[in-house]
Amino acid sequence: MFNRLPTWSQVEVLAKQGTIVAQRQHKDWTITLFSLNDYFVEVWANQHLEIIGSFQKKAKPLDILEPYIDYLEVPDLA
């Protein structure tokens, strides 16, 4: 459903319903991983452009999270 929305609607949905999971840098890009309902969405942003991409349902969560491992904040449970 999210993929079928126009880009402006995707931005609105992410802002209202998405949860930022992690953020990382790749060359000139800032990549933000969002959790949205039961799937993940990435936003790639640089000075001139933002690109929104979502993962296929069959993508494994650990494969999606792997590039973000060093950037994930895990709360102290003690």
Residue range 4-19, pLDDT digits in tens: 999 999 999 999 999 9
Smallest Cα–Cα separation from 27: which of 5, 4, 49?
A: 49
How far is Cα 10 from Cα 7, in angstroms, rounded to an integer?
5
Burial class of 16 by CB neighbour count within 10 A (0 to 12, 13 to 18, 19+): exposed
Q: How high is the pLDDT of residue 14?
A: 94
The pLDDT-based confidence of 78 (bands split at 50, 70, 90) is: low
How far is Cα 13 from Cα 2, in angstroms, rounded to an integer?
8
Residue range 35-58, pLDDT digits in tens: 998 889 999 999 999 999 999 888
Reported pTM:
0.85
Q: Is the pLDDT of residue 75 over 80?
A: no
How far is Cα 22 from Cα 9, in angstroms, rounded to an integer?
22
